[in-house]
A = this chain, B = another copy of it.
């Protein structure tokens, strides 16, 4: 074995980087100004649909109920502020980027973690569906063609985003920043200009829906019914909170001091979101904008065939009445940030899958990030599920929103519960008074967050369960069960291996018996024979299955004429099969000398096109698959590369989606 160790030292040089440190090359950590747009598109984009949902729900009770909108918006803003404050604690306590899944798993156990995992997976699907649908509505407000073919537009957009992610792109933080900042500038500009006109210049701005009445579905609501309606409106408005947790998954991607920068970015995100949300609601109320479920029946006085615009589009239309470019700009950037939010889900979904795979809740291969195929499956699954939702709900934002926020708030609530436990646990051992004080403070913040998010979760479940939330709950339960079963399977395989290890006596196989499968004496077979001989087995023989008398006779006479000294056995195959006679033969060899290892060498053509694959190797592949079921048998493929295989030889670096957000090479493990 001395050669072995020598080569071992020699090849050490081959290794890239230090053995336990991943390579940091090619990756730059994000400054806050880039991190904000990279992580905020999801959360920010939700203010594009949250406000109008508040209006929509309340309009059920007629025009007078719209007086509640500012209060509902303020309530949502308060929840948002509390959640942001809570997550600032998370970011400090768990800087590894594990997010809610890690917090729940560590503090509440694997089932809580898995619940968060299921909730988030469902949520990613709905993020795609809601964002794309809302994007279609916003573009549709400016381009009627899109609103007339909304479902097709949404399906097309999802397919396009999926295709881009399947291809694998090297993301650029700066590029992602443009639409987000453009959105902030566009909407803030619209709000400032609108309020300036109204309160400074004293002009009267009226929304195009200002003069319509609302046909109330339920007039004269009693106290309790009204409370329920306001609560539902609040539930819908809470859609504005989706995406806030994203930063807590991305702490490793920040520049140092990571946690503090992430916390600051979270604060900026909160400030922008609250400003935009309140601004939109207040301006909308000021100019009399309305948003209803069925414009044709609910809007009194609307002209025949009136197409209702998205709320932001209504505001932009009214504010930029004499400046159409402004209107188009706002509609465009709103749609862009929404599509970006959908893209974010395509990044997050496989990353979450990777974490779940690491903990053996999903197939293991999803764990390797560079693996294009593993990521592809996740992307295809996400796209298909989102398309199903979009088509099933006819691309109606309002219907999809009913399903949406259950998952988010399940995740929020469990995460905050976990954080409260986290601080309680730390306090048990901490003695430094100032540290204890800080922890107590943090625990208070997270407790308030817990109470708040749990309350919202209950409100959401009560007000939306029958309206569609049950579908999301069902999907979450189904995912939970499937992942449990997968985990169970891996555990039982592990047990089987452990038992085998306990029974293991550590004996080396006594001899090696090599069998080369040949069908004719071409170069592929010759090479297999040579390679098999190079491994110097104790027994070496070639076998051929007599599927065709004429071919076999030809092979035998060529063999005898050749310089090959390896004996050739002809195996009879009365039914012209290949697999069974070979298996039978190998079994007999095994029976005669059970302590031998049998190695079957199979020459295989390597081809470049899928259709060539159909024309070659099929019997070999099937035989290989079956041979693996025989204990004590190894199967060796000896490839013969046809020239056509060259075209597939290059291995390209695959840029997995979401890399910018993941801070490659930093604390990969805990994510």
Residues of A within 8 A of B (CB): 1, 3-5, 7-8, 10-12, 14-25, 358, 363-365, 367-371, 373-374, 486, 489-490, 493-494, 496-498, 500-501, 504, 506, 508-509, 511-513, 522-524, 526, 530-531, 533-541, 546-550, 552-553, 556, 563, 565-567, 569-581, 583, 585, 588-589, 592, 597, 599, 601, 604-606, 612, 614-616, 618-619, 622, 624, 626, 628-631, 633-643, 645, 648-649, 651, 653-654, 656, 664-665, 668-669
Min CB–CB distance A364 → chain B (angstroms): 7
Chain B contacts for A629, CB-based, 8 A: 606, 639, 641, 645, 648-649
Can you give 22 A-B contacts (C-beta < 8 A)?
Answer: A4-B540, A4-B541, A8-B541, A11-B569, A14-B585, A18-B572, A21-B549, A22-B549, A23-B574, A364-B618, A365-B619, A369-B577, A371-B622, A486-B615, A490-B615, A493-B605, A497-B523, A512-B534, A535-B535, A536-B536, A606-B629, A634-B637
Residues of B within 8 A of A580 (CB): 370, 651, 653
Cα distance, A629 to B579, chains bound together (Å): 25
Closest to A366 in B: B618
User: A574: which of B494, B530, B664 is its contact (CB, 8 Å)?
Assistant: B664
Is B618 within 8 A of A578, CB to CB?
Answer: no
User: With A and B bound together, what is the CA distance between A604 and B636 in angstroms?
Assistant: 12
A649 / chain B contacts, CB cutoff of 8 Å = 629
Residues of chain B contacted by A664 (CB below 8 angstroms)? 574-575
Once the chains are docked, how many angstroms separate the CA of A523 from the CA of B649? 33
Interface centre among A547, A571, A622 (most CB of B within 10 A): A547
Are A637 and B619 within 8 A (Cβ)? no
The 9 closest A-B pairs by CB, nearest first: A370-B577, A23-B574, A365-B618, A369-B576, A370-B575, A8-B567, A628-B639, A636-B636, A17-B572
Q: Which residues of B contact A367 (CB under 8 A)?
A: 547-548, 576
Quote the shortest CB–CB distance from A6 to chain B (angstroms). 9
| Inter-chain contact B22/A574, CB cutoff 8 Å | yes
A618 touches B374 (CB 8 A): yes
| Cα distance A540–B4 in the bound complex, in angstroms | 6
A636-B639 contact given A493-B605, A531-B509, CB 8 Å threshold: no
Q: A535 CA to B512 CA in the complex, in Å? A: 7
Complex: A563 Cα to B618 Cα, angstroms: 41
Q: Are A546 and B604 in touch, CB under 8 angstroms?
A: no
A215 to B54, CA, bound (A): 72
Closest partner residue, chain B, to A662 (CB atom): B576
Q: By the criterion CB–CB under 8 Å, are B497 and A522 in contact?
A: yes
Residues on B with C-beta less than 8 A from A17 are 572, 574
Which residues in B have their C-beta under 8 angstroms from that of A575? 369-370, 653-654, 656, 664
**Chain B min CB distance to A441 (Å):** 32
Complex-state Cα separation, A633 to B671, whole angstroms:
36
Contact A549:B20 (CB < 8 A) given known A531-B509, A577-B370:
yes
Whether A371 touches B4, Cβ cut-off 8 Å, given contacts A526-B501, A534-B509, is no
Chain B min CB distance to A512 (Å): 5
Instruction: For the A-B complex with A4-B539, A535-B535, A580-B651 known, give 14 more contacts whose Cβ atoms are closer than 8 Å.
Output: A1-B565, A8-B541, A14-B585, A364-B615, A368-B619, A493-B642, A497-B640, A509-B531, A512-B536, A535-B599, A604-B628, A626-B651, A629-B645, A633-B639
Q: Which residue of B lies closest to A638 (CB)?
A: B634
The dominant DSSP class at the A interface is mixed
Interface pair A489/B615, CB less than 8 Å apart:
yes
Q: Which residue of B lies closest to A514 (CB)?
A: B535
Chain B residue contacts of A630, Cβ below 8 A: 639
Evaluate contact between A576 and B541: CB separation under 8 angstroms. no
Q: How many copies are assembled?
A: 2
Cβ–Cβ contact B533 & A508, under 8 A: yes
Question: In this complex, what residue of B is CB-closest to A553?
Answer: B20
- Inter-chain CA distance A572–B15, complex, in Å, is 6
Cβ of A575 to closest chain B Cβ, rounded Å: 4
Please state if B523 and A504 are interface contacts (CB–CB under 8 Å).
yes
Given A619-B371, A636-B599, is A643 in contact with B496 using a C-beta cutoff of 8 Å? yes
Q: How far is the CA of A97 from the CA of B652 in the complex (A)?
A: 53
Residues of B within 8 A of A369 (CB): 575-577
**Per a CB cutoff under 8 Å, which of B3, B569, B634 touches A539?**
B3
Shortest distance from the beta carbon of A70 to any chain B beta carbon, whole Å: 49
Complex Cα distance, B499 from A640, in Å, reads: 13
Given contacts A8-B567, A367-B548, A569-B15, contact A574 B25 (CB under 8 A): yes
| Chain B residue nearest to A534 in the complex (CB) | B509
Whether A665 lies near B574 (C-beta < 8 A) is yes
Of A365, A369, A537, A540, most buried by chain B (CB within 10 Å of CB) is A365
CB-defined contacts of A506 to chain B, threshold 8 Å = 563
Q: How far is the CA of A629 from the CA of B605 in the complex (A)?
A: 10
Whether B373 pairs with A622 at a CB distance below 8 angstroms is yes
Q: Shortest distance in angstroms between A587's beta carbon and chain B's nearest beta carbon?
A: 10
Q: Please determine whether A635 and B637 come into contact, CB atoms closer than 8 angstroms.
A: yes
Nearest-CB residue, chain B, relative to A567: B8
Question: Which of B368, B526, B589, B642 meets A547, CB within 8 Å?
Answer: B368
Expressed in whole angstroms, the minimum distance between the Cβ of A436 and any Cβ of chain B is 31
Q: Are A371 and B567 in contact (CB under 8 A)?
A: no
How close is A72's CB to chain B, nearest CB, in angstroms?
45
- Cβ of A631: which chain B residues have Cβ within 8 Å of it? 639, 641
Contacts of A619 in B (CB 8 A): 364-365, 368, 371
User: A501 — which chain B residues lie within 8 A by C-beta?
Assistant: 522-523, 526
- Find chain B residues with CB under 8 A from A21 CB: 549, 572
Query: Smallest CB–CB gap between A607 and chain B, Å?
Result: 9
The answer to whether A577 and B371 touch (CB under 8 A), given A509-B531, A668-B548, is yes
